[in-house]
Amino acid sequence: MEETISMSYGSGGKKTSHLIEDIIIPQFNNEVLCELADGALLNVSGRIGFSTDSFVIYPYFFPGGDIGKLSVCGTVNDVIMSGCVPKYLSLALIIEEGFSIDELRRIVNSIAETSKYAGVQIVTGDTKVVDKGHGGGIYINTSGIGEKIEGLNLSKERINKGDKVIITGNIGDHGVSVLAVRENLLDDDLIESDCAPLIELLPIVNKYKEHIKIMRDPTRGGVATTLNEFIENSELCIELEEDLLPIDSKVMAACDILGLDPLYSANEGKALLIVNNSVAEELVDDLKSIEMFKDASIIGEVNMNVPGKVVMKNFLGATKILYKLTSNILPRIC
Amino acid sequence: MEETISMSYGSGGKKTSHLIEDIIIPQFNNEVLCELADGALLNVSGRIGFSTDSFVIYPYFFPGGDIGKLSVCGTVNDVIMSGCVPKYLSLALIIEEGFSIDELRRIVNSIAETSKYAGVQIVTGDTKVVDKGHGGGIYINTSGIGEKIEGLNLSKERINKGDKVIITGNIGDHGVSVLAVRENLLDDDLIESDCAPLIELLPIVNKYKEHIKIMRDPTRGGVATTLNEFIENSELCIELEEDLLPIDSKVMAACDILGLDPLYSANEGKALLIVNNSVAEELVDDLKSIEMFKDASIIGEVNMNVPGKVVMKNFLGATKILYKLTSNILPRIC
């Protein structure tokens, strides 16, 4: 077999069949996909959540994951953040001519493992090959469908004064990990991306569903940008306490060297939750009892100090406004 | 405003907000999308169809359409071919640094117009920007959700000896149109792509739903490759009659010049149907009464002459086997 992808793998003919039937399909052993029609027929009940994301990250392999794992995590997490239990994914690959078939196999294997862990089925797909110089090795789009969790109503409008801001773990790991690899920093002491499906968050969400106002995974733009989206154009202010922010010491050190701010660095396995004050501490305790959320913390609260803004208070009591990210700190991070 | 897309449009920050909220969202005026969460909540009932497709066509603008229109048609048609009424689309853009914002506006406008015509709502989306030299100007992924048409059961297993093969119009227009534009052929007498959502097929499908065995839109690989997928590894043979194939004379002339076979050229607004013999003629008559299907024809039948193969009989009675497409006749055709 040839060792790289040639244009004829994208022709829709025999080579495409080989690529799909021999390399991709065997990894995803489910009846719906095996039908190989242009669309999948699914049974769903009630309201559904629907989300899409393209992944253009470079390098394809990074500490803690690869573009395949990331492409499942990103969409699974978006479906969860919209208040749904993820069920089905589509998988669309745009492969650049010359891409290694061995690397493709590794990526597809990673997609299979991650989707199995997350309890989602890949049910429909598409593969395109583009000519050399017109791609990024491999770009992946996944779209996801989930079933709405009854009784959970997420909306910015439900955020109130007094609510607490919770993060499910350390801040900024993914963005710093990818940058460190690209820049060949910290060779002996790798920072792992936090890339993970937030599937273990579902029981907690279910338990506290009446008290959760909104959830979002702080990916591109980081925690600061995501929190701004919650309260911009409202009378509310989100006030973070710098001392409460959980940041890994290696991430902090790398940020110091690079002049980055972890609050603007992407995460790929964390959630921000705005919850009613009355359950905040109990919810965090429940989170901490789960290994992947052991660094969960209340990091701030909603008040009306600076309407429409996110501010951070340091240990001296001084506050600064955290604006949305404006310029690009890192291209192709997800 | 800057006239091209820069990397910061993909940062997840303010520029991304501008791109999404000022250029993209205003075209798709619907409440679900305007929420701008990472996922959309939808009401669906019963079984659903789910399909995904990426579009990497070059040039982005071609006679009869553009990559925006195509990205809606392709997925809408796949959802219809899986036996569903299309309802919702996701829209994911991968834009190369330096892409013209004016062209982006035209493409987004075209997506909006086509989805309106097709009766589908764009409900969730994603935008990534990749650095110059790592993209194709613009790549688009759409995923679609539709509601299953009750009583329509599409399956290769339902195909029987005696069934008829119907095509809803002229063969090969899209592929030849794109190639002609790329090669600067036929300047004064453009061949238009057939790119169209097959939404007007739905009433016909509903009327004859008990008698339709399978449907597929013959895109990459063309009519010959799609028909092979219906009967490969079965005891059945699909026999086409060359004299019955509807092919536009300009398409035929261009194919002659270029040494192409229209049976392997992509279509983007046609369907192949295998139907019970008893309704085939009436169904074609109904199709012909609709302007976009005026060239619909019965082009062959299912028999057992050459098991597992698609064959074509010419006017002398000689037959040749039509294999699946092997090599690539045209990259980035869809």
Beta strand segments in chain B, E: 40-43, 47-55, 61-62, 65-66, 84-96, 121-130, 138-148, 164-167, 212-216, 237-241, 272-275, 297-303, 310-313, 319-321
Same domain (yes/no): A139, A167 = no
Least CB–CB distance from B12: residue in A41, A83, A325: A325
What is d(CA B239, CA B305) in angstroms, rounded to the nearest whole number? Answer: 8
CATH code of residue A286: 3.90.650.10
Please tell me which of the candidates A13, A91, A125 has its beta carbon nearest to residue B324: A13
Whether A330 maps to a domain, the answer reads no
- Selected residue of B6, B18, B19, B54 to mutate for chain A interface (largest A Cβ count, 10 A): B54
A283's tokens? 């919810």
Cβ-Cβ contacts under 8 Å, A55 against chain B: 128
Q: Is A186 helix (H, G, I), strand (E, B) or coil?
A: coil
Q: Between chains, do A39 and B146 touch, taking CB under 8 Å as contact?
A: yes
A303 lies in some domain: yes
| Rounded percentage of chain A residues whose pLDDT exceeds 90 | 77
Residues B138 and B165 in one domain: no
My answer on whether B298 and B242 are in the same domain is: yes
In angstroms, the separation between the Cα of residue B113 and the nearest Cα of chain A is 21
Do residues A114 and A242 both lie within one domain?
no
Nearest CB among A13, A37, A326 relative to B13 is that of A326
| Sheet of strand B310-313, all strands in order from the earlier edge strand to the far edge | B212-216, B272-275, B164-167, B297-303, B237-241, B310-313, B319-321
Kindly determine whether residue A136 and residue B141, on different chains, have CB atoms separated by under 8 Å: no
Same domain, A196 and A305: yes
Considering the domain architecture, whether residues A213 and A271 belong to the same structural domain is answered as: yes
Q: Which run of H or E residues covers position B67?
A: helix B67-81
Residue A186: pLDDT band (50, 70, 90) is: low
Q: At which of A84, A118, A148 does a domain end?
A: A148
pLDDT digits (tens, 9 = 90+) for B68-85: 999 999 999 999 999 999
Q: Is A126 a residue whose pLDDT tops 60?
A: yes
* A186 lies in the same domain as A314: yes
Do B48 and A47 count as a contact with CB atoms less than 8 A apart? no
Query: Model confidence over A23-54: pLDDT tens digits?
Result: 888 888 777 776 667 788 898 878 999 999 99
- Residue A54 to residue B217, Cβ atoms within 8 A: no
DSSP-based helix, strand, coil % in chain B, nearest 5? 35, 25, 40
Please say which residue of A148, A180, A214 terminates a domain.
Answer: A148
Residues of B with Cβ-Cβ distance to A8 under 8 angstroms: 326-328
- HSE at residue A216, side-chain half, CA atoms within 13 A, is 24
Domain contains A220 = yes
Instruction: Give the other-Cβ count within 10 Å of A304's Cβ.
Output: 12
For B109, the domain range is 7-148
- Per-residue pLDDT, B189: 66
Question: Does residue A107 lie in a domain region?
Answer: yes
Place of tokens 């990749």: B130
ipTM metric:
0.94
Which residue in B54, B124, B334 is closest to A92 by CB distance? B54
The answer to whether B14 contacts A325, with C-beta atoms less than 8 Å apart, is yes
Question: Coil, strand or helix: which one is B319?
Answer: strand
* A308 C-beta neighbours (distance < 10 Å), count: 14
Q: Does residue A13 contact residue B325 with C-beta atoms inside 8 Å? A: yes
Q: Are residues B100 and B27 in the same domain?
A: yes
- Report angle CA B195, B198, B202 to the nearest 5 degrees: 175
Residue A326 banded pLDDT, cuts 50, 70, 90:
confident
Would A122 be classed as within a structural domain?
A: yes
- The verdict on a CB contact (< 8 Å) between B225 and A139 is no
Q: Environment class of residue A242 by beta-carbon count within 10 Å: exposed (0-12), middle (13-18) or buried (19+)?
A: middle
Position A138 in a domain: yes
- pLDDT reported for residue A230: 96
Measure CA A112 to chain center.
Answer: 17
The answer to whether B12 contacts A219, with C-beta atoms less than 8 Å apart, is yes
Angle at B237 between CA B234 and CA B239, to 5 degrees: 160
Q: What is the mean pLDDT of residues B260-269?
A: 95
User: CA B267, CA B237: separation in Å to the nearest integer?
Assistant: 23
> Does residue A3 sit in helix, strand or coil?
coil
A162 & A304 share domain: yes
- Contacting residues for A26 by C-beta, under 8 A, at least 6 apart: none
Q: Which residues of B touch A10 (CB under 8 A)?
A: 220, 328, 331
Contact flag A56-B128 (C-beta cutoff 8 Å): yes
User: Residue A96 half-sphere exposure, CB side, CA atoms within 13 Å?
Assistant: 15
Closest CB from A13, A54, A129 relative to B128? A54
B146 residue type, one letter: G
Report chain B residues whose CB lies below 8 A from the CB of A332: 130-131, 134
The pLDDT of residue B17: 83
Residues composing chain A:
334
Confidence category of residue A22, pLDDT binned at 50, 70, 90: confident
Per-residue confidence (pLDDT) for residue A189, from 0 to 100: 66
Which amino acid would we find at residue A156? K
Span of B13-27, B42-56, B58-72, B245-259 with lowest mean pLDDT: B13-27
**Do B90 and A220 lie within an 8 Å CB cutoff?**
no
What confidence score (pLDDT) does residue A188 get? 58
Give the number of domains in chain A.
2
User: Which of B38, B58, B75 to mutate to probe the A interface, most A CBs <10 Å?
Assistant: B38
Same-domain check for residues B89 and B140: yes
Same domain, A289 and A169: yes
State the best of A6, A18, A43, A54 to mutate against chain B, taking most chain B CBs within 10 Å. Answer: A54
Question: With contact defined as beta carbons under 8 Å apart, do A171 and A271 qualify?
Answer: no
pLDDT in tens, B94-132: 999 999 999 999 999 999 999 999 999 999 999 999 999
Asked whether residue B1 is domain-assigned, the answer is no
Q: What is the CATH number of the domain that holds A40?
A: 3.30.1330.10
Distance from CA of B162 to the nearest CA of A (A): 23
B268 domain-assigned: yes
> How many A-B residue pairs are in contact by the CB < 8 A criterion?
263
User: Measured between CA atoms, how close is B324 to chain A, in angstroms?
Assistant: 6
Residues in A touching B326 (Cβ below 8 Å): 8, 11, 13-15
Claim to verify: residue B165 and residue B235 sit in the same structural domain: yes
Query: Of the candidates A148, A181, A197, which is a domain's last residue?
Result: A148
Mean pLDDT of A103-118: 97
**Residue B211 banded pLDDT, cuts 50, 70, 90:** very high
B271 to chain A, closest Cα gap in Å: 13
